[in-house]
Amino acid sequence: MAPSIKVGDVVPKGTFKYVPYAPELDAHTACGIPTTLTTDQWKGKKVVIFSVPGAFTPTCHVNHLPPYIEKYEEFKAKGVDTIAVVAANDAFVMSGWARLMGLKDKIIALSDGDAAWSKSLGLDVDMSAIGFGTRTARYAIILDDLVVKYVEVEPGTGVTVSGADAVLAHL
């Protein structure tokens, strides 16, 4: 899969749903209230976005997200303002995953409903054959003031070019 977005492009505007972390969510008896986050909020910032086909799915849950958590301070040391994980799951599922993984908004968990933003980048994938519908592909993007500095999509089912180490190497 070749993305339609390329290095040097300004990223198209995107709108995501997101449940901000709040201490009352730690009890797991509250759901939080989804809010809207847009790519406009990334203007003037260095942002790392990595996308997973689904929260709680084996590769995403075990191999993709954990290295970003472990290397959070390395990303911050390289000037990254925001790290976001994106999936087509709804905002409540993304919030539940974020809570289980202990993200507490160090990494924000964004819902790209129907993979709409990912589709605008040429980075959606039809997983209807396995009952998942349209999902976000497994990819990573580095933005600097909304300009794409790095974009790679996984060629297979593993985590290589979209993993924490690959992205850190390009910062």
Virtual torsion, Cα 9, 13, 15, 16, nearest 10 deg? 10
Please, what is the Cα angle at 54 between 49 and 57, to 5 degrees? 120
Which sequence positions are flagged as catalytic? 60
> Which string of DSSP letters, residue by residue, matches 86-120?
EESS-HHHHHHHHHHHT-TTSEEEEE-GGGHHHHH
* Residue 50 three-state SS: strand
Task: Judge whether 94 and 110 are in contact, CB under 8 Å.
Answer: yes
Q: Count of CB atoms within 10 A of residue 79's CB? A: 10
* Residue 169 three-state SS: helix
Residue 135, strand partner residues: 125
